Amino acid sequence: MTAPVVHYQFAILRYRFSASIGEALNVGVVMWLPLQRELRFHVTARLQRLTRAYPSLEGTAYVSLRRAVKRHFKEVAERRGVQLVQRELVITDEVLSEFHGILAQLTEPDPNHFCWSEPRGGSTPDVETSWESLIQHYVDRLQSDSPPAARNETAIWDGAVKSFFEHGISFNEATHRSPYYERKFRATWQNGMTQYLDAISFDLAEADRIEDKANKWCGILYNLRDSSDFRFSAVIARPHRNKRALTRAFDLAVGRLQAADHVRRLVAEDQLESFIDEIRDEVLPNG
């Protein structure tokens, strides 16, 4: 079944050391889904590119500005009666229906240091992949210490599919529905109870994005709590950057998600063969 196409708009958040200089560097991105009335935002915590461009910029000054911007995003939500979900803004106020108006309000407190690019638009059948691609293309890859591009869920799933294929296993996608929510999963099978399998990438450059990803999936599973019973497993990727903060965020994220409703198993990529052994008789009962 072909996934429905979702239309979106996005804009790049840029930092200006001085309005008189005119130069601005990309530090964040927002993505607006008008039909879903959802606004996502990301503001980088990485300083290397900014301090190289502006040697007199103090790191603590930018950190304070970044915190103020994120705090203001939340204040806009509260002022307009907007629901804040997993650090993503779900827009419910008709006054915020125009993307230009949203952008203007988000940078109200500090227009001297922050400005927006012209909004652009696109369409996608996979919002999560497109969102991660926007962050990578417009923000992360421009940082001086950026590693090779992080792998998203599509890349992880493609690798898993190859392993399943080698064992003669294939899956169909399926959508699980509760009274007020539905979610499409990449794979499903039955073993007396409905089983779902998907991919989750924690191969991210910042600890708070790892936390957000875990919170998002906990929210997905929680929103399906009033549906028929099922079990969920995921092939997960850890951060490839060897940083203590990322490793700790990953361990906490996995622990939080493992304790969530309906979770059967979280499978690291190097444990996939053992998981295939575990489910082979379930998906290939005559094999």
- CATH 3.40.1350 in the chain is located at 153-283
- What pLDDT sits at residue 49? 60
Asked whether residue 87 carries a pLDDT value surpassing 50, the answer given is: no
CATH fold group of domain 153-283? Trna Endonuclease; Chain: A, domain 1 (3.40.1350)
Report, as an integer, the average pLDDT of 125-129.
Answer: 87
Cβ-based burial of 8 (10 A; exposed 0-12, middle 13-18, buried ≥19): buried
How far is the C-alpha of 214 from the C-alpha of 239, rounded, in Å? 13
Report, as an integer, the average pLDDT of 107-120.
Answer: 72
| Per-residue pLDDT reduced to its tens digit, 27-83 | 888 888 877 777 788 887 766 665 565 555 665 666 676 777 777 777 765 665 444
* Length of the chain (residues): 287
Confidence of residue 90 (pLDDT cuts 50, 70, 90): very low
Alpha-helix residue ranges (DSSP H) falling in 167-286: 207-223, 244-258, 272-283
Other Cβ atoms closer than 10 A to 93: 13
Average pLDDT, the chain: 79
Report, as an integer, the average pLDDT of 2-31.
Answer: 76
- What pLDDT sits at residue 197? 96
Q: Which residues contact 196 (CB under 8 A, 6 or more apart)?
A: 174, 176, 185, 187, 188, 230, 231, 232, 233
Asked whether residue 223 carries a pLDDT value surpassing 70, the answer given is: yes
The least confident of 62-71, 178-187, 226-235 is 62-71
Our CA angle for 209, 215, 220, nearest 5°, is 125
Confidence of residue 189 (pLDDT cuts 50, 70, 90): very high
- What pLDDT sits at residue 96? 41
**Which position has the higher pLDDT, 113 or 31?**
31
Cβ-based burial of 146 (10 A; exposed 0-12, middle 13-18, buried ≥19): middle
| Per-residue pLDDT reduced to its tens digit, 160-180 | 998 898 888 999 999 999 988
